[in-house]
Amino acid sequence: MYLITNKNSRSSNLQSRVHTSENATEAEAVSNESRAHFNLFLKPSILERRSRDKTLALKAIESALGIRTIGAQAEYLDLVINKMFKAPATVNISPSKILDMNSSELKNVWHLGARGDSDFKWSSAEKLQRNAIENAFFQYYKSANSNFRKHARISNNPAKSEGGFHPGSRPIYAALHALQEDLVGGAPEYGAAAFYLRDHIKEYATITGRDSYLIVKEWVDEDRDFYQLAPRGLGVFDSSGVDRSNLYPAIASANKDQLLLLSGMGKFDDPVDFIELQLHGRLAISRDVSHVAMQKRPPAKVKKDIKEKLYNLFEIH
């Protein structure tokens, strides 16, 4: 494994100050709106469900691991939850794509206009699907901020202007590196390199047990109302500790292979479904990335180019 480390050790306190600057750009202002929606609406509503969600998580542990006694279920649930809480957040990418980056920030799919790490551009239908999924999970229409509602709104008519829509209103997708620690990043199918994010970014993260797109697809295939189910499928972290977080929805929506890995009861050579994080607000590479890892050491010329690119993005002291 090949690593490039960010030696910038600035804390999350600076992160907070940066994101509340009175001289914020439009992108910074939209990021602040997104995080306000997270703090004032998403996180409180998710934490309110903690007791009910724990019951569903225990049922998932019983079903996936075959554990019948209540005490043992609780022990394994604690084991799984603590492993998830401590695991790093990552964004996988192909090493060659690092050289194509022209921004000091990690961008979401709405900025890039492409799925994940690919060059394949979204179709209008795919945009509408993603828009519906994100509205179901994050309920932008319930924001108390009219500016944020405008920035997050996309017309259902592909021919109609998007008006005040801003890509920064939507999350950046990442993965929790908690399942197969010998692989690079939490979603290695998206690339053999990964940005490892500093832990403070979890303060503005929601979590689902699997790819939120696939979770919704299953609900639709089962003819279930995903607009009702999606908000109850989100978990959140809390920096004060795992006991103040609500990661139980991610356990409830995880599959058997994932829970076997998290509990230490199984091992798989091939990548399994990833645990998805949705990160609300901007991500600056110099501030929010701790290091970049690659599965294999790249050729000398590529390694030199990647190091130069990342050193330009990192703040190396």
Q: What is the pLDDT of residues 39-95, one digit of tens each?
A: 999 999 999 999 999 999 999 999 999 999 999 999 999 999 999 999 999 999 999
What's the average model confidence in pLDDT over 277-281?
A: 98
Pick from 49, 48, 228: nearest CA to 139: 228
Predicted local confidence at residue 288, as pLDDT: 95
The letter for the amino acid at 282 is: R
Distances (CA, A) of 294 to 161, 186, 195, 303: 40, 13, 9, 10
Predicted local confidence at residue 307, as pLDDT: 86
Predicted local confidence at residue 14, as pLDDT: 38
147 domain-assigned = no
Pick from 258, 281, 210: nearest CA to 43: 281
Sort 98 into a burial class: Cβ within 10 Å, 0-12 / 13-18 / 19+: buried
Distance CA 250, CA 276 (A): 9
Tokens 């509340």, residue? 20
The CA angle 218-232-56, to the nearest 5 degrees, is 85
Sort 149 into a burial class: Cβ within 10 Å, 0-12 / 13-18 / 19+: middle
pLDDT at position 265 over 50:
yes
Q: Grade residue 100 by pLDDT with cuts at 50, 70 and 90.
A: confident
pLDDT at position 10 over 60:
no
Arithmetic mean of pLDDT over the chain: 89
238 domain-assigned = yes
163 domain-assigned = no
9 domain-assigned = yes
83 versus 302: the higher-pLDDT residue is 83
Predicted local confidence at residue 16, as pLDDT: 39
Predicted local confidence at residue 203, as pLDDT: 96
Percentage of residues of the chain with pLDDT beyond 70: 89
pTM: 0.90
The SS3 assignment for 283 reads strand
Neighbours of 59 (CB within 10 A): 13
Q: What is the pLDDT of residues 162-191, one digit of tens each?
A: 568 999 999 999 999 999 989 999 999 999
249 domain-assigned = yes
Question: For the CA atoms of the chain, what is the radius of gyration?
Answer: 19
Predicted local confidence at residue 25, as pLDDT: 85
| Domain, as residue range, for 104 | 2-139+169-313
Tokens, residue 86: 């401590």
Pick from 271, 307, 246: nearest CA to 191: 271
152 domain-assigned = no
Cβ pair 310, 101 in contact under 8 A: no
Predicted local confidence at residue 79, as pLDDT: 97
Predicted local confidence at residue 316, as pLDDT: 56
Number of domains in the chain: 1
279 domain-assigned = yes
216 domain-assigned = yes
Q: What is the pLDDT of residues 231-264, one digit of tens each?
A: 999 999 999 999 999 999 999 999 999 999 999 9
